Amino acid sequence: MTTNNQNAVTVTVTGAGGQIGYSLLFRIAKGEVFGDSVVNLRLLETEQGVQAARGVALELADCAFPLLGEVTITTEIDEGVKDANAVFLVGAKPRQKGEERADLLAANGKIFGPQGKAIAEHAAEDVRVIVVGNPANTNAAIVAAHAEGLDPRRVTALTRLDHNRGLAQVADKLGVAVRDLKNMTVWGNHSASQFPDIAELTLNGEKVADKLDEAWVNDEFIPRVAKRGAEIIEVRGRSSAASAASAALDHMRDWVNGTAEGDWVSVALPSDGSYGIPEGLVFSFPCRSVNGEWEIVQGLEISPAQQERIDANIKELQEEKAAVVEAGLL
Ligand code: NAD
Ligand code: LMR
């Protein structure tokens, strides 16, 4: 086993015995996020889930990944986040058919306060946190509120999956490659109200809005992307896992290494007031990673139609926030 050295990172994954964990851990251990750094993994699970995490650790060993360092399996939060440079907060209940993600708040919200506190107390100063467990935005708000002393900008939530879904839908519609599309934006909440916005989207540098029928955008594209999670549950019988893990990797990789030249990605983070979003609300914005920090893309023009969709997300997130305040979680 490798012990900590200068070129090592410590990465925590909660819910390591679950389905997203199973897609995520092997790719992290292979070096997809942290380049040639040795990766020490901390797998945090519940008493019920820890046996599955032990099995994952056996398989990680069997992969003989050259960059894999220590693997720690624990049910103790403080140990789970100790010295972590990156924390993937995945462990939470997934929704079932017919549920909305906000229906999970009662079951999942209470997980994230203690984790936020432990991260502030025991993780590395440069820790980067991504919340995947649903409802991701409001869970991230709970983490940030309990992480006393931690810059709230180090706590984010995953909307990159929605961003990637948007790119895939447009690429399919236009018969082009995803790699030729840039500047997709998802605004707001990782929920059915989210606003996947193609106003700035370009194909090989040219805006695509004119090439797409407005009725298709409003009546097919936006609802399809916003409800894709439910579609996956309907068809697969379980919520998305490999695509969610892949998006979480994209998010952390870009945060650490920077976004591609001329592009931006969608990240949910505590608002600094940009675009009139109330400060502190964990909201998805177009972001670039510059020198290892997320920066919200400024100066985009927002039409009344766009504003209406953004406002619906503000309202929904404020309602979720009020519900967790009432439950004593925030
Ligand atoms: P899963 O049920 O397969 O696995 C969840 C794992 O988390 C289980 O092993 C469970 O024991 C563990 N867990 C529960 N509470 C925990 C805690 N307090 N600490 C550590 N581990 C804990 O679920 P999954 O499919 O991996 O999904 C996990 C979460 O991610 C769900 O809430 C799901 O809705 C969400 N999700 C979010 C996105 C997104 O884009 N934001 C995408 C897909 C799934
Ligand atoms: C998704 O978008 O696939 C996840 O949030 C899972 C879900 O409940 O939809």
pLDDT in tens, 126-149: 999 999 999 999 999 999 999 999
Q: How many whole angstroms separate alpha carbon 281 and alpha carbon 269?
A: 8
Res 182 pLDDT > 60: yes
Please work out whether the CB of residue 15 comes within 6 Å of at least one atom of ligand 1.
yes
Tell which atom from ligand 1 comes closest to the C-alpha of 50.
11
**Cα(215) to centroid of ligand 1, in Å?**
35
Q: How many whole angstroms separate alpha carbon 296 and alpha carbon 298?
A: 6
User: Residue 136 has which token pair?
Assistant: 């991701």
329 to 121, 155, 238, 301, 321: CA distances (angstroms): 19, 17, 28, 36, 9
Q: How many whole angstroms separate alpha carbon 297 and alpha carbon 290?
A: 11
What does the pLDDT read at residue 6?
Answer: 55
* Residue 117 binned pLDDT confidence (cut-offs 50, 70, 90): very high
Ligand nearest to the CA of 21: 1
Res 5 pLDDT > 90: no
Compute the average pLDDT of residues 104-116: 94
What does the pLDDT read at residue 93?
Answer: 95
Q: What DSSP designation does 191 have?
A: S
Angle at 129 between CA 231 and CA 224, to 5 degrees: 15
Q: How many whole angstroms separate alpha carbon 205 and alpha carbon 299?
A: 18
Residue pair 60/41 in contact (Cβ under 8 Å)? The answer is yes
Using the structure block, give the residue that is written with the tokens 């693997």: 71
Count the residues in the chain: 330
pLDDT tens figures, 263-310: 999 999 999 999 999 999 999 999 999 999 999 999 999 999 999 999
Count of CB atoms situated within 10 Å of the CB of 172: 10
Of 50-54, 100-104, 304-308, 316-320, least confident by mean pLDDT is 100-104
Compute the average pLDDT of residues 161-169: 98
In the chain, DSSP assigns E strands to 8-14, 38-44, 68-74, 86-89, 128-131, 155-157, 181-182, 185-187, 195-197, 202-203, 206-207, 265-270, 282-290, 293-296
Please work out whether the CB of residue 101 comes within 6 Å of at least one atom of ligand 2.
yes
Res 4 pLDDT > 50: no
Please work out whether the CB of residue 146 comes within 6 Å of at least one atom of ligand 1.
no
The overall average pLDDT reported for the chain is 96
Compute the average pLDDT of residues 150-166: 98
Q: What DSSP designation does 127 have?
A: -
Using the structure block, give the residue that is written with the tokens 């894709």: 228
* Residue 40 binned pLDDT confidence (cut-offs 50, 70, 90): very high
Report the share of the chain in percent with pLDDT over 70: 98
Compute the average pLDDT of residues 12-29: 98
Residue pair 168/254 in contact (Cβ under 8 Å)? The answer is no
**Cα(274) to centroid of ligand 1, in Å?**
30
What does the pLDDT read at residue 3?
Answer: 39
What does the pLDDT read at residue 261?
Answer: 95
Instruction: Enumerate the active-site residues.
Output: 190
What does the pLDDT read at residue 1?
Answer: 34
Residue pair 21/7 in contact (Cβ under 8 Å)? The answer is no
Please work out whether the CB of residue 165 comes within 6 Å of at least one atom of ligand 2.
no
**Cα(236) to centroid of ligand 2, in Å?**
12
Q: How many whole angstroms separate alpha carbon 98 and alpha carbon 273?
A: 34
Please work out whether the CB of residue 132 comes within 6 Å of at least one atom of ligand 1.
yes
Collapsing DSSP to helix, strand or coil, 241 comes out as: coil
Compute the average pLDDT of residues 233-254: 98
Distance between start and end Cα atoms, the chain: 40
69 to 65, 125, 282: CA distances (angstroms): 9, 21, 33
